[in-house]
Structure 1
Amino acid sequence: MLRYTLAIIRSRNEVLMINRNKAPWQGCWNGIGGKLEPGESPVTCVTREIWEETGLKVNEPLYRGIASWNPTGEPLQGMYLYLIDLQDCDRPASPVATREGILDWKAIDWIVAEENFGAVPTLRYLMPDILDPDTYPAAEFHFDFEGDVICSTEKRALPEDFLFSHSN
């Protein structure tokens, strides 16, 4: 089982993001998520993290796969990825300061821009697939790092048993 979850919360052409107060990726904009607690399922974790970090109650986040990475000299790590689409009436106001960082809506084009150094760099690779579930099935997005720099990326199909057994 992986240790983390990440939610991409979309409304219009924007994503609700947090500018992180602490490592990893301190000072960068990222989706909403966090660490699984003992005995917690990924979907329970992501809905809890969304509530804790944004005050939003979400039902049935859409499972979109996993992100995995190999930090230099460390074992494989990863997170479960989810998509939540909000209606305008559910869209929280921003910016807002929280204990985790600053929440704000960011344009999707800004997040995925190659010259953007303000967002966590893995987002530009996985965001287009996550945001288009009708075209792209859930997948594994694998990243190899040297320090904080991505040196290779690979998109892999998820085995069917992993797709269904890890989404709840």
Structure 2
Amino acid sequence: MIKYTICFLKQQTRFLLLNRFHPPTMGLWNGVGGKLEPGEAPLASVLREVLEETGIHLASAEYKGIVSWDLEGESTGGMHAFIAEVPEDVTFATPILVDEGILAWKELDWLLHPDNAGVPENVPLFLPAMLSTTECYQYHFYYKNQRITSHEMTLLSEPITNR
């Protein structure tokens, strides 16, 4: 069962990212999200998490699939992934300190740069696909010694946003 959500908040060519204070991605720039509450649908969870972590009230977010992982041969987790467009008339000055970390706008080129060690190593492997397709996929990553050894992308037959 998938227990987490993540949302990449986009405004034109930039993304609002969170540099987290806590593990598992402590010190890295990543999307905004968190744990699903009991009985909560993934879309409701991600909208709540975005509001709690940024103060931005989103009317909707686009479901983009699942990001999951195996650590040392054991399936240990996953998250429902979303992308949401922040309207151009919404002004959100950064950097800003919040309970979870530091929020700041980062350009897509910076986020996906091959030499960028400041983002989780799987983000440049799944985010471009999420941005370029309307279909939903499961992006599954295999890790050994805390490094990705391989990954696969499988088309989801049915999005799971409201279950």
TM-score range, shorter chain: over 0.9
Aligned partners of 2:73 and 2:142 also within 8 Å: no
User: Are 1:143 and 2:137 an aligned pair?
Assistant: no
For 1:87, the aligned partner's letter is: P
- Partner SS for 1:75: strand
Unpaired runs of 5+ residues, structure 2, are: none
User: Can you list the C-alpha shifts for 1:46-101, whole angstroms capped at 9, x where unaligned?
Assistant: 00100010000001211011101011254341100111011221141110001100
Q: Which residue of 1 aligns with 2:7?
A: 7
The CA deviation at 1:36 is: 0.6
User: Can you list the C-alpha shifts for 1:7-34, whole angstroms capped at 9, x where unaligned?
Assistant: 0100011110000000001100000000
Report the CA distance shift for 1:91/1:156 in structure 2 as closer, same or farther (over 3 A).
farther
- Partner SS for 2:65: strand
Q: Which moved more, 1:74-83 or 1:49-58?
A: 74-83
For 1:149, the aligned partner's letter is: R
- Partner SS for 1:89: coil
For 1:145, the aligned partner's letter is: Y
For 1:27, the aligned partner's letter is: G
**Matches of 2:161 and 2:90, distance apart in 1:** 24
TM-score, length-scaled by structure 2 = 0.94
Q: Which residue of 2 aligns with 1:58?
A: 58
TM-score, length-scaled by structure 1 = 0.91
Q: Which residue of 2 aligns with 1:117?
A: 117
Give % identity.
Answer: 36
User: Can you list the C-alpha shifts for 1:128-162, whole angstroms capped at 9, x where unaligned?
Assistant: 12223xx34111111001132111111111123xx
Q: Which residue of 1 aligns with 2:29?
A: 29
Total equivalences in the alignment: 162
